[in-house]
Amino acid sequence: MDPFKRGVKNVLRNSTRSVAVIIILSLAVGLSLVMVVARQSVDQKISSIKSSVGNTITIAPAGFSNFSSLNNDLTTSQLSKIKNVDHVTSLSESLSDRLTTIGSSQPSFGFNSNSSNSTNQTSLTSPVTINLNNVRRHFFNASGSSAPTNFSLPITIIGTNNPYQVNQSTISITEGKIINGSSDNNNVIVSTSMASKNSLKVGSNFKAFNSTLNVVGIFKTTTKALGNTIVVPLSTLERLTSQSGAVTSAIATVDTSNNLSSTTSAIKKILGSNADVQNSQQQANATIQPLQSVKTIAVTSLIGSLIAGAIIIFLIMLLLVRERKREIGVLKALGASNVKVIKQFTSEATTLTLLAAILGIIIGGLAAGPITSTLINNTRSNNSSPTSFVQRGALTRQAGGGFAGPRFFSGRGFGGSLRANLLNVHAEVGWSIILYGLAVAIIIAFIGSSLASYLIANVRPAEVLRSE
């Protein structure tokens, strides 16, 4: 029986202790695997998000927010300058407003609300259904108003010169045709959900701003926010709302991602403090910030679990060496070299850790998905920042007492779609992870038994006669 076999056999010498050690070690190995899986999954997701963002720069008036009405729209002069910035290939301009359903009640917050005007009304009803109790609790009761029974969510109307891209979502026409963004007529496109809710078809008419608008096309609803949107040419909305030349947001497209940063700086220089300028990479970075936190947590926990595992096996080996000091003396007295005795103890430590690794891999495989999701969810909720206008989905005007804030539209817009994407992290235990688990076990065994080896080398063979 060689030293390896003796080491393996020694694992069974005290089965209760061995089982306890294996369970504790397996938790350390399992946790380290979970952290590796979480890190890998998050890395993949970050790469995927970064590669999916376009070469665009979003420009909005400074201080533009859900509950303000600062009348600080982007000016024609500013937009002309932006168009002339190097590397800007196109500029999508848009104006947004809200329409309330004729006959529905709206809360008042004391703001200068366009949507409370009688002209900002439509015959349409929002396809988005919300919990009325939340509305009452958060808005009506809070302001001392009585809760209405005929409440309907306002509808967003967007006027744009680029109807193919609305709030950085690509518009896909399912029926009819797209509107001409540079025209000034009463043609509109509506979402499939809006059409369905209001029984609209291509050729149907409805009322808005005391005018009759014609549905020329129906586009696919990709998000709830987009589903609650109707799109008209920019000039049409300016005319209907009597806001000639007004633009509430613009999206500049840059030729390549390499020029994104320099072009953003150039636009910021032109607009100064009059506008908030953020490129898609910055938006993506802000969005993936929770994932970066998860990565940090994963690495810290990985190191921690490795150290814990090494300490456990080290203490066990220390205990074994102290307990078997006399046996080591016997082996040395019989002619065993230090190397042979160390081999025996190292194989014992390796057997313990490999058994723990197998159990750890199973634990890691089962726990990787739920723990990764929990980490992302917790970190995401802790990191959600109220300062980013993109994250708040504020690409639409929402100036008129818009209580359609983040609570109802948290997934709206470009930032919103990215954030929704964050939750879709796929944690998978593949062969590489299993091999990693085994490698972790060997590292733990090596670290844990190296000091034991030192102690073994220092046991004098005369120990065998100590108690004689």
Partner 1 sequence: MLKVENLTKTFKQGESNITAVSKIGFSIKDGQFVSIIGKSGSGKSTLLSLLGTLEKPSSGSIVIDGEDVTKMSEHELTNYRCKSIGFVFQSYNLIPNLTAIENVMLPLEFAGLGKGKRFERAKQLLDQVEIVEDKQTRRPTRLSGGEQQRVAIARALANKPKLILADEPTGNLDSQTGKKIFDLLHNLARSENTTIVAVTHDLSIAGKTDKVFKITDGKLKA
**Contacts with partner 1, residue ranges (CB under 8 A):** 1-2, 6, 9-10, 12-13, 326-327, 330-337, 340, 460-462, 464-465, 467-468
Kindly state the greatest CA–CA separation across the chain: 109
The least CB distance from residue 461 to partner 1, in Å, is 4
Distances, alpha carbon 436 to alpha carbons 31, 194, 310, 446, in Å: 12, 51, 16, 15
148/461 with CB nearer partner 1:
461
Report the C-alpha gap between 352 and 367 in whole angstroms: 22
C-alpha to C-alpha distance for 432 and 32, rounded to whole angstroms: 14
336 versus 358: smaller Cβ distance to partner 1:
336
**Smaller CB separation from partner 1, 350 or 417:** 350
Could you tell me which residues come within 8 angstroms of residue 328 by beta carbon, excluding any fewer than 6 positions away? 321, 341, 456, 459, 463
Q: How far is the CB of 419 from partner 1 (least distance, A)?
A: 59
Smallest gap, in angstroms, from Cβ of residue 11 to partner 1? Answer: 10
CA angle 427, 381, 292 (to 5 degrees): 55
In the complex with partner 1, which residue's Cβ is closer, 6 or 83?
A: 6
How far is residue 213 from each of residues 123, 153, 159, 237, 279, measured CA to CA in Å? 10, 20, 13, 11, 34
Minimum CB distance to partner 1, residue 430 (Å): 39
Nearer CB in complex with partner 1: 3/413? 3
Q: What's the CA gap between 21 and 25, in Å, rounded?
A: 6
CB-based contact 57:254 (threshold 8 Å): yes
DSSP state of 146: P
How many H helices and E strands in the chain? 15, 13
Q: For 247, which DSSP code?
A: B
Q: What backbone torsions phi and psi does residue 99 show, to the nearest 5 degrees?
A: -120, 135
Smallest distance, partner 1 to C-beta of residue 449, A: 19
| Contacts with 324 (C-beta within 8 Å, 6 or more apart), sequence order | none
- The pair of structure tokens assigned to 459 is 């046991």
Nearest distance from C-beta of residue 358 to partner 1, angstroms: 23
Phi/psi at 49 (5° precision): -65, -45
Nearer to partner 1, 406 or 461 (CB): 461
Q: How far is the CB of 324 from partner 1 (least distance, A)?
A: 10
Q: Which is nearer to partner 1, 201 or 322 (CB)?
A: 322
Q: Is 92 helix (H, G, I), strand (E, B) or coil?
A: strand
In the complex with partner 1, the residue whose CB is nearer, 11 or 254, is 11
Phi, psi (rounded to 5 degrees) for 240 = -65, -35
Report which of 119, 115, 250 is spatially closest to residue 181, judged by C-alpha positions. Answer: 250
Q: Which is nearer to partner 1, 339 or 439 (CB)?
A: 339
Nearest to 160 by CA among 96, 227, 73: 96
Residue 308 φ then ψ, to 5°: -60, -45
Query: Smallest distance from the beta carbon of 3 to partner 1, in angstroms?
Result: 9
Residue 50 or 326: the one with the smaller Cβ distance to partner 1 is: 326
As measured in angstroms, the least distance from the Cβ of 332 to partner 1 is: 7
The CB-of-356 to partner 1 minimum distance in angstroms stands at 21
Indicate the residue among 132 and 339 with the shorter CB distance to partner 1.
Answer: 339
Q: Are 415 and 406 in contact (CB under 8 A)?
A: no
SS3 at position 112 = coil
User: In the complex, what is the shortest distance from the CB of residue 442 to partner 1, in angstroms, rounded to a whole number?
Assistant: 25
CB 66 within 8 A of CB 398: yes
